[in-house]
Amino acid sequence: MKQAFFQVIENTALTESVYRMKLCGDTEGIRTGQFVNIKLDGLFLRRPISVCDVEGDTLTLIYKVVGKGTQQMSQMTGGTLDVLTGLGNGYDLTTSGDHPLLIGGGVGVPPLYLAAKLLRAEGKQVSVILGFNTKDEIFYEQEFAALGCDVTVTTVDGSYGVKGFVTNAMKPGYTHIYTCGPEPMLKAVYNASETSGQFSFEERMGCGFGACMGCSCKTKYGNKRICKDGPVLVKEEIVW
């Protein structure tokens, strides 16, 4: 965990409400599946955002505008942000097997990008299912494909790709699951999955580094803090 100042070097709208922000600063120690916690002017609590990518000193975040904090972020064209980095446990890529399946729903897609990149670098055969409500909300299909992943997009309304939910596109043959998305999606993937897997959860947080117990959940291995012991839980420990 670190506190560092990052320079905003890019902030691009990917869809009507989803933005990609690139930040330049001390990225040392940031791992796949972790998140950062950003201080914003006039807002008391920091805003936790998942790590999409790290390349040298560039940190990429993809976020959806859902409230005051993300609204403020979307309007930044430059400037400096006070960021806590290296938060959360992140994905463990050592248990992927040769054919990992990555499943992301909506703004649950971004944290899978760095995982996909690292797994591809290890020569794994990576399948990716990206779920959205409708065609207009789709982002990063090409980016995952460019990594050499086998990408399937699902839309709830059938306006693009496979109609329905991410589970409609799951095919046997994968060795391990990495997933992130809204809780109903995680639960559906949990029920449909035939292998071990890692599930990244979201919760309203206070501190983001394990101090306040604001984001606790029950697991088969005892109480865990989503921010510190998570956000990634392994399949066998999850209690719905």
Q: Which residues contact 222 (CB under 8 A, 6 or more apart)?
A: none
User: Of 43 and 145, which has the nearer Cβ to other proteins?
Assistant: 43
CB of 66 to other proteins, least distance (A): 9
Closer residue to other proteins in complex, CB, 1/192: 1
Q: At 34, is the secondary structure helix, strand, or coil?
A: coil
Interface residue list for other proteins (CB under 8 A): 1, 3, 39, 43-46, 84, 203-207, 209-218, 223, 228
- Dihedral sign, CA of 222, 226, 228, 230? positive
Torsion region of 136: left, alpha or beta (phi above 0 gives left; psi -120 to 50 gives alpha): alpha
Whole-number minimum distance, CB 224 to other proteins, in Å?
11
CB of 45 to other proteins, least distance (A): 5
| Smaller CB separation from other proteins, 121 or 212 | 212
- CA-derived radius of gyration, the chain: 17
Question: CA–CA distance from 238 to each of 63, 129, 191, 200 (Å)?
Answer: 26, 22, 12, 11
Cα-Cα-Cα-Cα torsion 14, 145, 136, 70, nearest 10 degrees, comes to: -30
Phi-psi category of residue 60: left, alpha or beta, with phi > 0 → left and psi -120 to 50 → alpha: beta
Q: How far is the CB of 158 from other proteins (least distance, A)?
A: 26
Q: How far is the CB of 31 from other proteins (least distance, A)?
A: 15
Min dist CB 67 to other proteins, Å, is 9
Nearer to other proteins, 58 or 216 (CB): 216
In the complex with other proteins, the residue whose CB is nearer, 44 or 94, is: 44
What CA–CA distance (Å, rounded) separates 64 from 20?
9
Closest to other proteins by CB, 39 or 99: 39
